[in-house]
Amino acid sequence: MGNLSEHFNHQDFFCKCQACKGTRDAEYKIHLGLVGALELLWIKLNKPVKVKSSYRCEAENEKLGGGRKSFHIYGKAAHISIDGMTPQELFRKAREIEEIKGLGLNLEEGTVHIDLRNEPLREEWVKEKGKYITLTADKKHIYGLE
């Protein structure tokens, strides 16, 4: 398989579950807009963006508590990190990429969730003790996301 873009290839987006892992012919989905948004972030920061997870097969998505309409099963979401940046710093920078409409902070994983939902307004949240909580002004202040 060839590269999807200058910095990302197909393997960055494969499902990471044990059933799919290492399967040469594993099916997966990737929205090229997600690849483009990740490229924009890489170029903006001039730092490698690591994709910790992206596409999830339906079984893995269910196991991880994802909803039936999770953007991960459509190839429109990724959990990312950048060496040398805190998740909060990455979150604030990802907020500057117009194409990213869903943005989540997961300190337990040390990642930032990004997705390409169709809504015109951005939705932002934080994962606290296994629960997703919408970021209010108070929460943004607590987590240093202002």
- Give the tokens for residue 25: 């012919």
Enter the pTM of the model.
Answer: 0.92
Which pLDDT does position 70 carry in this prediction?
Answer: 92
Rounded distance between C-alpha atoms, residue 13 and residue 35, angstroms: 9
CATH number belonging to the domain at 10-142, selected among 3.30.420.40, 3.40.50.300, 3.30.1950.10, 3.30.1380.10: 3.30.1380.10
**Average pLDDT value over all residues in the chain:** 90
Domain range list for the chain: 10-142
Which pLDDT does position 21 carry in this prediction?
Answer: 74
Q: Tens digit of pLDDT for each residue in 6-54?
A: 999 988 999 988 888 766 666 788 999 999 999 999 999 999 999 999 9
Q: Is 62 exposed, middle or buried (0-12, 13-18, 19+ CB in 10 A)?
A: middle
Which pLDDT does position 32 carry in this prediction?
Answer: 94
Rounded distance between C-alpha atoms, residue 60 and residue 56, angstroms: 6
Rounded distance between C-alpha atoms, residue 90 and residue 145, angstroms: 10
